[in-house]
Amino acid sequence: MLLELHMLQNFAPSCLNRDDTNSPKDCEFGGFRRARISSQCLKRAIRKAFQDRQLLPPEALAFRSKRVVDELANQLAGRGRDREVSLAAAQAVLEGAGLSLDDGKTQYLLFLGNDQAAALADLIDANWDVVAALREEGGAEGVEGKKGKGAKKEAKSKFPSELKSAVEAALQGSRAVDLALFGRMLADLKAMNVDAACQVAHAISTNRMNLEFDYYTAVDDLMPEDESGAGMIGTVEFNSACFYRYANVSLPQLERNLGGDRELARQAVRAFLSASVEAIPTGRQNGMAAHNPPSLILAVVRRQGFWNLANAFVRPIRPAAESGLIDSSIAALDRYWGELTSLYGEAAIAGAKVCRLGDGELSALAPYRVGRLSELLDGTMDLLAGEALP
């Protein structure tokens, strides 16, 4: 069983997601420049919503960091172990398992479930004498005079095979929902990779992008009265756009990633739906406060296949005299849904739920309409419950 989420979200003037030049991200679509919010930015906002809104317990969440050694040392120190020794012990265990470290940090961001970090700390604590012996032999600090692959190979050769197997087991199993949804790739330990159960598209504007510039000045509060001028001047680029957002989730893959726990998978889906609606990127929000909720939310439960509805906006939406940008975008999405179902049929669609702001009409999507977000969430979960997972 598959789940799709489609949203239309109109943001006030903002710079929610910047590129390397501090400009709002954009792209070309349908021959026109569009505002864009990257999928990575949206996934980060969703993961933060899991935590900030307490949609899931801490043990069902993950963190992404290069500072895993520090985290493990902090957990061990909390159990009464010496922190400096814990740092060396954690580094010895990670290097012995095959992960590359540089100055006590992993060479790339490691996506690790909170339960996996706790399991690693338990493992180190339970095998403290063995790990301490590795440290005394130099395993924790690498081999003097060797760096890179040489030190990594030497550390692995000194690492007990039973302990390595236990570390790999800790890295393989996790009940972290965000890890199960968004997946993980470990260049050093390919067997620990997790296939993502969720795909998130870059959000693109339904309308043509117009980039604008805010010229600002900042006053020096302590400037003498006989002086004039600004203490600082600068420019900030921004835009305002109505974004189409799309994501999908494979329920069978999600359940596999969570060790076959169907109930946790259902909790994960509901949390994902709620977090996606709430998730707003944080870029330059202190100066622009573009906290605008979605104007349309469409959840589709499918038996097979996926439909990204971005082509509803190949021709940029232009606000009409009788309808603004939001209503015109909703109408285009509704019309395109009707065209797709007319051509391809609805056999693959188990059901759908849609809600929108205002009392505007819907045509092709009208049979799926509900009045409140809570009804959409409950109805979508009921649809999933009514369809047996393969």
The two three-digit tokens of residue 30, written as one number: 């349908």
Lowest mean pLDDT among 151-165, 172-186, 237-251, 257-271: 151-165
Between CA 166 and CA 178, with CA 172 as vertex, the angle to 5 degrees is: 140
The two three-digit tokens of residue 354, written as one number: 């849609």
Three-state DSSP at 175 gives coil
- Burial label for 34, CB within 10 Å (0-12, 13-18, 19+), is buried
Is the alpha carbon torsion for 30, 329, 345, 370 positive or negative? positive
Distances (CA, A) of 170 to 114, 123, 127, 159, 173: 11, 9, 14, 16, 6
Calpha distance 62→117 (Å, rounded): 9
pLDDT at 128 over 70: yes
Residue 47 — φ and ψ, nearest 5°? -60, -40
pLDDT at 309 over 70: yes
Average pLDDT over residues 275-299: 95
The two three-digit tokens of residue 307, written as one number: 């439909």
Calpha distance 354→265 (Å, rounded): 22
Between residues 215 and 368, the one the model is more confident about: 368
Which pTM value belongs to this model? 0.90
The two three-digit tokens of residue 162, written as one number: 């039973």
Average pLDDT over residues 244-255: 97
- pLDDT score at 339: 98
Average pLDDT over residues 176-186: 95
Model confidence band, residue 137 (pLDDT cutoffs 50, 70, 90)? low
Please list the helix, strand and coil fractions of the chain in percent, rounded to the nearest 5, in that order: 40, 20, 35
Long-range contacts made by residues 37-43, C-beta under 8 angstroms, separation at least 24? 37/202, 37/203, 37/243, 37/245, 37/281, 38/202, 39/200, 39/201, 39/202, 39/203, 41/16, 41/17, 41/281, 41/283, 42/200, 42/203, 42/245, 42/247, 42/279, 42/281, 43/182, 43/200
pLDDT at 353 over 80: yes
Q: Where are the alpha helices (DSSP H) in the chain?
A: 39-52, 68-77, 83-97, 114-126, 128-136, 149-157, 161-172, 177-182, 251-257, 262-278, 285-288, 325-344, 373-386
Calpha distance 47→68 (Å, rounded): 18
Average pLDDT score, the chain: 91
Calpha distance 146→355 (Å, rounded): 61
Model confidence band, residue 133 (pLDDT cutoffs 50, 70, 90)? confident
Contact indicator for 36, 202 with CB cutoff of 8 Å: yes
DSSP-derived letter for residue 25 is P
Model confidence band, residue 152 (pLDDT cutoffs 50, 70, 90)? low
pLDDT at 150 over 60: no
Between CA 355 and CA 367, with CA 361 as vertex, the angle to 5 degrees is: 60
Average pLDDT over residues 287-291: 94
pLDDT at 325 over 70: yes
pLDDT at 140 over 50: no
Average pLDDT over residues 29-53: 97
